Amino acid sequence: MSETTPRAAGLDFLYRPITVEMEATTALLKERLFGLDPAFSEYLDHSFRLGGKRLRPALTLLCGKAAGAVDRRHYLCAAALEMIHTGSLVHDDILDGARFRRRLETVNARWDSQRAVLVGDLLITRAFDLICECEDLALFRKTAECCRATVEGELLQVDSIGNFALTTADYRKIVGGKTAALLECATHMGAYLGGARGESLAAFERFGAALGIAFQIVDDILDLVGDEAKTGKTLGTDLVNKKETLPLILYLQNASEAERTATLSRLEAGVSLDERAEFAAMLTASGAVDAARAEADALVDEALSIVANLRETGEKTARSEESAQAFDALEALARFVVKRDK
């Protein structure tokens, strides 16, 4: 599979090995959410229209096939993780003051923050109902652990607002929780249910964690230099909300004393959405954006190396053609993460 395939073909192409399983997961999502009180349907339907990539369910299913086989518990876990992710997006939009996502009004913009908080809570609590149906305490513990890590990462980020002395290690700790934890959970649960144990299971986890951090770095780059017409969401909110993301951290680390002082003065005074293009040009010209992309590329290389090692182990145990196709898709998905423009 060539490195240009992901961008050219999109996620539908990458998800081909799990087309049937993704359809089954979507059907389960609709059944479990829209079977609730009809009064909630409008909120829930709108929330899921704000989603898009279905990355967490896809990783759950692909890792299940790569490790062995997929069964109904994979559908339950995949649907649950998508609910948790969607609930976290609803909450994120409140924190960021975002007005649009996927070219649609956010829940807080369409209704209000009170409803948005509760809709997010409803999605997350409903997800735990699905995990409980698997009747496996290990899955429940893993989900709880990753939800805790996600919330801790978000809280660390809120606590760091306006702190322009963050290091790359601080940044990785934040995004390792707020974004990577759920991807790690998806790869763990999929592989665990597929039969992976020990070092193999740990390797699938590391794949998800590396992919998650790379994904967030690219998201942060797009928030700075992306095209709103392509991303379909409000951009520039990181600057406006005084969040120090990786491109800005790298810029401040390498700027001259005069440049650093002038930039900090502007950031502390507050940056408007209209100034995003100016900051984007400055960070791009400095090489900070390219340096951040290089870090994402390195993480994807790490993820690809993990997949290669898992594939080699799989070949020794005579894995199926479906397993091989799943590994192909995991490799292509890793490349997609850094090539995407939305």
Give the per-residue pLDDT at 190. 98
Give the per-residue pLDDT at 245. 94
Q: Quick one: which of 258, 262, 337, 253 has its CA closest to 293?
A: 337
Give the per-residue pLDDT at 226. 82
Q: Report the DSSP pairing between strands 104-105 and 100-101.
A: antiparallel
Give the per-residue pLDDT at 166. 94
- Residue 308 CB neighbour total at 10 angstroms: 12
Residues contacting residue 98 through CB under 8 Å, at least 6 positions apart: 92, 106, 108, 109, 233, 234, 237
Backbone angles phi, psi at 119, to 5 degrees: -65, -45
Q: What is the pTM of this model?
A: 0.91
Residues contacting residue 288 through CB under 8 Å, at least 6 positions apart: 247, 248, 250, 251, 254
> How far is Cα of residue 152 from the mean position of the Cα atoms in its chain?
16
Angle at 228 between CA 224 and CA 229, to 5 degrees: 150
Range of 132's domain?
Answer: 5-339
Amino acid type, 335:
R
Q: Are 210 and 300 in contact (CB under 8 A)?
A: yes
- In DSSP terms, which residues pair with 104 in a beta bridge? 101
Give the per-residue pLDDT at 156. 95
Q: Are 209 and 173 in contact (CB under 8 A)?
A: no
Q: DSSP states of 165-229 as a string?
A: T--HHHHHHHHHHHTHHHHHHHHHHHHHHTT--HHHHHHHHHHHHHHHHHHHHHHHHHHHH--HH
Q: Quick one: which of 140, 219, 153 has its CA closest to 181?
A: 153
Q: Are 95 and 161 in contact (CB under 8 A)?
A: no
Q: Are 199 and 72 in contact (CB under 8 A)?
A: no
Number of domains in the chain: 1
Residues 282, 284: Cα–Cα separation, whole Å: 5
Backbone angles phi, psi at 243, to 5 degrees: -95, 125
Per-residue pLDDT of the chain (342 residues; tens, 9 = 90+): 333 333 434 777 789 999 999 999 999 988 888 777 788 888 888 887 776 689 999 999 999 999 999 999 999 999 999 999 999 989 988 888 888 887 788 999 999 999 999 999 999 999 999 999 999 999 999 999 999 999 999 999 999 999 999 999 999 999 999 999 999 999 999 999 999 999 999 999 999 999 999 999 999 999 998 887 776 666 778 888 898 999 999 999 999 999 999 999 999 988 888 888 899 999 999 999 999 999 999 999 999 999 999 998 865 444 688 999 999 999 999 999 888 877
Q: Are 295 and 31 in contact (CB under 8 A)?
A: no
Q: Are 191 and 204 in contact (CB under 8 A)?
A: yes
Give the per-residue pLDDT at 46. 83
Q: What is the CATH number of the domain that holds 273?
A: 1.10.600.10
Residues 221, 247: Cα–Cα separation, whole Å: 7
Q: Are 27 and 79 in contact (CB under 8 A)?
A: no
Give the per-residue pLDDT at 99. 85
- Residue 211 CB neighbour total at 10 angstroms: 30
Element (H, E) at 104: strand 104-105
